[in-house]
Structure 1
Amino acid sequence: MRRVGLFFVLGIIFFLQACVDRGEACSCQPRHPQQHLCSADFVILARVKRETLTNETREYKIKIRKEYKMSEKAYVALKFGRLVTARDDSMCGTRLEVNKVYAISGRVVTLQARIGLCDMAEKWDDLTRRQRKGLKLMYRQGCTCEIKFCPKSQSTQRGRCARTKDACNWDTWLPDKKKDCQRNEGICLRNSKKQCIWSRNLALTTCTRNSTVMHYEPKAVPTATAVEHPTALQAQQSQHQYVRKKWTWPKKAYSPFRDDPDRRSGQ
């Protein structure tokens, strides 16, 4: 009886460990669209026609509309318009909606075009004009540059990562993709001095300025009492500007006798 209980406990431990391993296997760091294009075996624009489920995989039949990047082995793997991903989300499987158009990046494994949660699968309607332009041409021009994931919460140098000539710091990252300026409007290119910088454009400048205004929060003035902290109270009062209005005598009420001399004399 004790052996049965021991095996039962060990079975639960192994099951929980397997679940943890499956969950941890899907962790991936945020990546910029330019990084997806530069590192993937293929980047395409495609419409999802149908979805098929198997025991371990989820397969999508697609119709390719445009090829942004395609290696030789990707041509062979995508010859019949089939994408393969893991069935479960815990194994980094990704889900696509039927009859929707996506910009998709992926890799070729054993002559299969595979996509995952860490790859790009963005709806075409959700991409900005700058992102579409980057996929067509400009992202490819910046593949010699590195994009360093550097959110301000994890930076080490006054809110920003250390700058290098061969990398652009991605420091506008936000969980909400629609508010991430460098992701939506940024393209990392080399300038005339061979340094990697975010290419200047009106959309990026406007987004960054608006984001700075939205995230500004004035510091609260600490409260204090005259008995406990007289010095702090004086400092608090000095920060406020009091506008003193000039005191004037109230105007006299209107009287019909004031402007008529005959009525004032009683005539």
Structure 2
Amino acid sequence: MNILRYFCVWIIAFLWLFAFLTPSVNACSCMPSHPQTHFCEADYVIVMRVLRKSHRLVKDHLAYKIEIKKSYKMTDAAQNILKHGRLSTALSESMCGVNLEVGKLYVVAGRGSKLSLCNYIKEYQKMTIIERRGFSGAYRKGCKCKINMNFGGRVVEKSDSCNWSPFKKCETDFSLCVPLVYRTPEGLISQCHWRKTPPYKACLADP
């Protein structure tokens, strides 16, 4: 790796971690996560349409009335939270508030009744085909694999995980970390790896 590029990556990583670890009552900071991690750790994963929003229903919050179009994952607790079709968020982005547009479809992987910038929230039309397939079921197959964040330093390969950087668009948008089982003289071995989907291969060829 080019020394200058390596140095810049670590400076960015340091600033990111510093912002995350430094407490502040007026700032929003979240560690980045791969979409698959959002799916696996969420209490619910839904496709929803925003019907309307209001500043009056919840004090110091913006309330969204939503219609759930599809449910890809839902715990019993999440089902109880979402049964009235309402979610809320902080009023400002500095407090991790999320501004959604009425009438648009979003995919949300969340916990609890409050939305934040730390959740996975993306307009459905802007998702890649791999993200859509992932949230509809493919990511579930990789939930036994851990996705480790790496900013370009020394990489330690582990059989139960994949290494990932938030700067790597190909792995983020076009791949998923799933176990691959293969036979060896010692028996069957499971190894987590980035699935080489056609869009992933195309991205690697022309990053």
The TM-score by the shorter chain falls in which range? 0.7 to 0.9
Root mean square deviation, CA, Å: 1.5
Q: 2:96 pairs with 77, 92, 117, which one?
A: 92
Name the SS of the counterpart of 1:104 in structure 2: strand
Q: Return the letter of the residue paired with 1:166.
A: D
Match of 1:194 among 178, 190, 197: 190
- Alpha-carbon displacement from aligned partner over 1:120-141 (angstroms, at most 9, x marks no partner): 1100011011111111111011
Q: Percent identity?
A: 37
1:61 aligns with 2:57: no
TM-score normalised by length of structure 2: 0.81
Runs of 4 or more off by more than 6 Å in structure 1?
none
Q: Which has the higher strand share?
A: 2
> Counterpart amino acid of 2:32?
P
Between the aligned partners of 2:120 and 2:197, the Cα distance in structure 1 is 24
Contact 1:22 1:90 in 2 (8 A): no
| Rounded Cα–Cα distance in structure 2 between residues aligned with 1:46 and 1:69 | 13
Could you say which residue in structure 2 is the equivalent of 1:260?
A: none
Structure 2: distance between partners of 1:204 and 1:133: 14
* Aligned pair partner of 1:184 in 131, 152, 173: 173
Count of equivalent residues: 176
Aligned counterpart, 1:242: none
Q: Tell me: higher relative CO, structure 1 or 2? Use CA pairs within 8 A at least 6 residues apart.
A: 2
Q: Name the counterpart of 2:153.
A: 156
Residue 204, structure 1, aligned to residue 200, structure 2 = yes
1:105–1:115: 8 Å Cα contact kept in structure 2?
A: no
CA distance in 2, matches of 1:60, 1:100: 12
Give CA-to-partner distance per residue, 1:191-239, whole Å, 9 cap, x none: 013111001211101101101xxxxxxxxxxxxxxxxxxxxxxxxxxxx
Matched AA of 2:84 = F
Normalised TM-score (structure 1): 0.63
State the alpha-carbon separation in 2 of the partners of residues 44 and 29 from structure 1.
22
Q: CA deviation at 1:188?
A: 0.4
Distance 2:156 2:60 in 1: 43
Tell me, which stretches of 5 or more residues in structure 2 are unaligned? 1-22, 182-188
